Amino acid sequence: MNETASPSERYSQGMATRRAVLGDAHVDRAATTSTEFDRPFQELITEAAWGHVWSRPALTKRERSIITIALLAALGQDDEVAMHVRATANTGATREDICEALLHVAIYAGVPAANHAIKIAKQAFEQMDAEKAA
């Protein structure tokens, strides 16, 4: 937000939801590395994606997480798939949920997209397991 304006209610809700899903460390890192160039984009996704879509009550964070991972996998958005797989620690989506979603990706978006997303998810889960064990 620009320095003279207070954050909108939608932005504040979005920041709370973004933190709940992605975790404080991720959101703080994004804020710290934000520049004048990408700050408008960060504001947009916080307000629109997190404040409007992710904050709606009709679906749970778990359900939104599953949908998001499937869509990102279908679109080949590897970094985003990994980020949202890591976020399942906060959303309640299980590994079984993600497996089922990626089976749908295989049928409706193609086996190569699902195969690659499975590889990314496995790496993310291994990283999560290692962090938990440490």
pLDDT tens digits, one per residue of 27-81: 999 999 999 999 999 999 999 999 999 999 999 999 999 999 999 999 999 999 9
Q: Does 59-134 carry CATH code 3.60.130.10? A: no
What does pLDDT average to over the chain? Answer: 95
| H and E: helices and strands count for the chain | 7, 0
Task: Give percent of the chain above pLDDT 90.
Answer: 95
Tell me whether residue 26 is exposed, middle or buried, using C-beta atoms within 10 angstroms of its C-beta: 0 to 12, 13 to 18, 19 or more.
middle
Question: Could you tell me where in the chain the CATH 1.20.1290.10 domains are found?
Answer: 59-134
